Amino acid sequence: MYTSVSAFSPICNPTQCPWGQKAFTGYLGSDRATWQGYDATELVKSYSGPALDILIDQGSEDGFLKDGQLLPDNLVAACAKASMAVDYRLQPGYDHSYYFIATFVGDHIAKHAEALK
């Protein structure tokens, strides 16, 4: 369905973090099995479509990362196990701000433009 995938500071495994669990309960109900279809890390584990190349930028000083809300290591590990390419770039000194996104958005646009030719 998708030709190109990228994200800035995503909540990578929402079934395993407090924010995701609260949101999923509110939107999807308490049946945790239903949540799996909305969790990137869980979806990678069963993905059988065409090869994807994922780009993720994350600031090393992001408070949400430090609080355990984003869980990018879980997604990176799932991608490695599924032999799915992921370029996880931990950007030193950046937080969860607009400045962080503005600094690296050009890389994401270039990636999508190349994928779409």
* Average pLDDT estimate for 98-104: 97
Q: Does domain 5-116 have CATH number 3.40.50.1820?
A: yes
**pLDDT of 1 higher than 90:** no
Radius of gyration, alpha carbons of the chain: 15
Look at the alpha carbons of 31, 83, 81, 64 in this order and tell me if their dihedral is positive or negative. negative
**pTM (2 decimals)?**
0.92
**pLDDT of 14 higher than 80:** yes
Residue 2: pLDDT band (50, 70, 90) is confident
pLDDT at 20: 96
Q: Please count the CA atoms within 13 angstroms of the CA of 93 that sit on its side-chain side.
A: 2
Distance between CA atoms of residues 3 and 117, nearest Å = 11
Distance between CA atoms of residues 2 and 44, nearest Å = 13
Higher pLDDT, 29 or 50: 29
- In this predicted model, what pLDDT tens digit does every residue of 73-100 receive, in sequence order? 999 999 999 999 999 999 999 999 999 9
pLDDT at 94: 98
* Mean pLDDT (the chain, rounded): 95
